[in-house]
Structure 1
Amino acid sequence: MSAQAQLRSPRAMAWERRRGAFAAFCREFARNRAGMIGVIFLIVIVLLAALAPVLAPASMLDVTKLVDAPRFAPPSWEHPLGTDHQGRELWVRMLWGAQVSLLVGFAATAMSMVIGTIVGIAAGHFSGWWGALLMRGIDFFLVLPSLILAIVLTSVLSRGVWTIVIAIGLTSWAGTARVVRSQTLSVESRDYVERARVLGAGHWHIIVKHLLPAVMPLVLANTTLTVGSAIIAESTLSFLGLGDTTVQSWGAILRNSMDVSAATSGYWWYVLVPGLAIVLVVLAFTLVGRAVENIVNPTLRNR
C-alpha cells in the first residue's frame, strides 16, 4: 500500500467508494433502453412545466380576455390541442397543470418515503413490543384503502395543493415501510452489524452507519415507482372535485371535461389530452423505476 493511500482518511475512502458505485450505477442505467426513454421523456416534461410562465403566460388563462375565443375548437394548426369550454387553449392548461401534478407527485412521494423509511427501519431494528407495535401500524395502513383515507383527509382539511400532498403522503407510506423492514431484518443478521453491536455501537450508530445505507437503494427504486401512483392519486382527487379549483392540474382538466359531458358530446380532445398525459408520465416513471430496480436488486440483476 502506498504512503498516499495510508494517509487517506476512512471517510475519504468511503466517499470514493460511493462515487465509484454511483458511476457504475449510471453506466448500468445507461444500458437500459426503456429506462433511458423514461428519463428523457420526464426531463422534457419537467422542462416544459418549469418554462410554463415563459411559454404560456398566465394571462392566457384569464377567461375575461378570451371573450372572442372559440369554445370547443378541435385540434388544428391554430389550436394545437384544441380549446376548452371557456375558450382557453388546452396546451396552455396542460403546461400549467404539469406544474401542479408533478409538484404533488414529487412532494407526496418524498413525504411517503421519509415516513416509510423511518418506520420500516425502526420496525426491523427494534425488537419486543416496540417492533410489534410499529408492525401493527404498518399492517393497519396496508389494509386500509389509501384512496378512501385520502378522500376523508381532503374533505376534512381545507382544500389546496398541500392538503392533497399531505393526504397522499400520509396514506401511501406503508408499502415502503414493509419493504424497508424486510431489508432491515436481512441487514441486521449480517456479521458486520453483529460485530458493531458487540463492540458497543448504539442504536443510532447502527441505524445511520449500517442500516440506512443498506436500504437506500431499495428506497430509491421504490420512490420512482411511487411518484406515478401519487400523480394518479392527485388526478383522482382533483377529478372528484376535492382539489383546489383555483389552480390548474391534469385531474382538474378531466373534471372540467366531465362537467360539460365532453366524452358524449364529441369533444374527444378535452378528455384524451389530459388522460393520455397522465398515462404517459406514469408509464415513464414506471420504466425508470423498473430500470433502477433491476440494477439495485441483485436477484433481478443476475436474471
Structure 2
Amino acid sequence: MTPPVGQHAESSPEGAVEGPRGLVWARRRRAVARFWQQYRTHRAGLAGLVLLVVIAVVALAAPLLVGADSQSVTGAAGGPLEDPSGSFPLGTDQFGRSLLALLVWGTRVSLSVGLLAAFLSVAIGTLVGITAGHFRGWYATVIMRVTDWFLVMPTLVLAIALATVMSRSIWTTILAIGVTTWPTTARLVRAQTLAVESRPYIERARALGGGHRHIMARHVLPNVMPLVLAQTTLVISTAILTEATLAFLGLSDPSIVSWGGLLQDAREAGAVSSGNWWYLAPPGLAIAVVALAFTLCGRAIESVLNPKLGERR
C-alpha cells in the first residue's frame, strides 16, 4: 500500500532528513565533504595539515613525553650547555635542562598564543569589516580611516609598545598581537560584505522586514566565513612569528617556556659566540616549520574556496 504524500521522508528506511534544521545540517555535511575532497588534491596543503596534526599531538602529550618537571631549574639532570648526546639529544641549556624537553613544552605556548591571538585578530577584523560594509556612510568612513592608520603603522612596533607598557604575561602577548594585526582581515571582509550585499536576495530580505542584525548574521556572515577561515590560517603563522619576536626581545613572561624565549635564553647564554648551534637551531626551525605549515594550509584553503585563484597559480 502506497504511503500518503508527505510521509514518505519520515518512513524512509535510510532515515531521511526531517525538517528544515535537518536539511540545513545535511547541506553542511555535503559542503564539508566536497571541501575535503578538493582539499586532498593539494599536496602542499595536505603536507601542512599532517605537520600541524603531529605538532598538535606533541603539544597535547608534552607531560607524557618529557615529564611535567622537565622545566624546573632546580631539578635539572644535566650540566650547563652540554653537547647533544644519548641522554640529551639536543643538548642542555645554561641551567642543565634538556633542550628537547623545553622545545616540546614550548610547542604548547607558541601554538596557544598563535591560535588565541589569531582568533582575537580575526574576530575584531570580521566585526569591523562586516559593520563597515553594511552600514557605510560616516561610520564606514571613520572606521576605515582608523583601519588605514593601523595598516600604515608597523605591526611589530605597535605590539612592542603595548607589551612594554603592560605587565609581562602570556595574555599581554596575545592582546598585543590581536589588536595590532586585524586591519588586513577587516579590509578583506569589508570588500566581501559589499559584494554580498549587492546581491538580489539581500534586497528581498530587507523588503520582508529583515533588520540589520538579521541581515548581517544570517546572510552576510555565512558568506564571508570561508574567507575568514582562510585568513585565520595565515594570521596564525604571523601571530606565532610575532610572539617569538616579542619573547626574543624579552617582552613576554620570562617564567613561561616558548620557542622565542629559548632563542632569547640562547642569546643571553652566548650560544652565538660560543658556537652552541644546538641551542639556536631547534627553536628557530620549529618556528619556521609551524609558520610554513599554517601558510601551506591557508593557501590550499584559498585555492579550494576560490578555484580561479588556483588556476592563476
**Which of the five TM-score ranges fits, normalised by the shorter chain?**
over 0.9
Partners of 2:226 and 2:78 lie apart in 1 by 51
User: Could you list the runs of 4 or more consecutive aligned residues of structure 1 that deviate by over 6 angstroms after TM superposition?
Assistant: none
CA distance, structure 2, for counterparts of residue 24 and residue 59 of structure 1: 45
- Matching residue of 2:25: 15
Length-normalised TM-score, structure 2 = 0.92
1:183 to 170, 192, 200: 192
Counterpart code for 1:74: D
Q: Which residue of 2 aligns with 1:201?
A: 210
CA distance in 2, matches of 1:275, 1:287: 18
More helix by share: 1
Deviation at 1:17, TM superposition (A): 1.5
Q: Deviations over 1:232-276 (max 9, x none)?
A: 000000000000001100000000111122122110111101000
State which of 52, 61, 76 in structure 1 corresponds to 2:71: 61
Q: 1:247 to 1:189 in 2, by over 3 A?
A: same
- Is the counterpart of residue 151 in structure 1 residue 152 in structure 2? no
CA distance in 2, matches of 1:40, 1:297: 22
Q: Which residue of 1 aligns with 2:148?
A: 139
In structure 2, the residue matched to 1:100 is 109
Alignment RMSD: 1.6
Match of 1:114 in 2: 123
Which of 225, 229, 235 aligns to 1:216? It is: 225
Q: 1:128 — aligned with what?
A: 137
Could you tell me which of 75, 97, 109 is aligned with 1:88? 97
Judging changes above 3 Å, is the alpha-carbon distance between structure 1 residues 201 and 110 closer, same or farther for their aligned structure 2 residues? same
Q: In structure 2, what is the Cα distance between the partners aligned to 1:271 and 1:104? A: 21
Q: Amino acid of the residue matched to residue 165 of structure 2?
A: V
Per-residue deviation, residues 95-154 of structure 1 (Å, max 9, x unmatched): 111111111000000101111101000011112111111111211111111111111111
Equivalent-residue separation in structure 2 for 1:65 and 1:199 (angstroms): 69
Letter paired with 1:170: V
Number of equivalenced pairs:
301
DSSP-derived class of the 1:180 partner:
helix
- Which moved further from structure 2: 130-139 or 251-260? 130-139
Query: What 5-or-longer segments of structure 2 have no aligned partner?
Result: 11-16
SS at match of 1:280: helix
In 2: Cα distance, 1:34 partner to 1:127 partner: 39
Aligned to 1:34: 44
Instruction: State which drifts further: 133-142 or 265-274.
Output: 133-142
Q: Distance in 2 between matches of 1:38 and 1:268?
A: 26
The question of whether the paired residues in 2 share the 8 Å contact of 1:218 and 1:297 is answered with: no
Per-residue Cα deviation, 1:3-34 (whole angstroms, up to 9, x for no partner): 34699533332222111111100111122111
Residue of structure 1 equivalent to 2:180: 171
* Alpha-carbon contact 2:66-2:101 (below 8 Å) kept: yes
Amino acid at match of 1:161: I
The one-letter code matched in structure 2 to 1:185 is: L
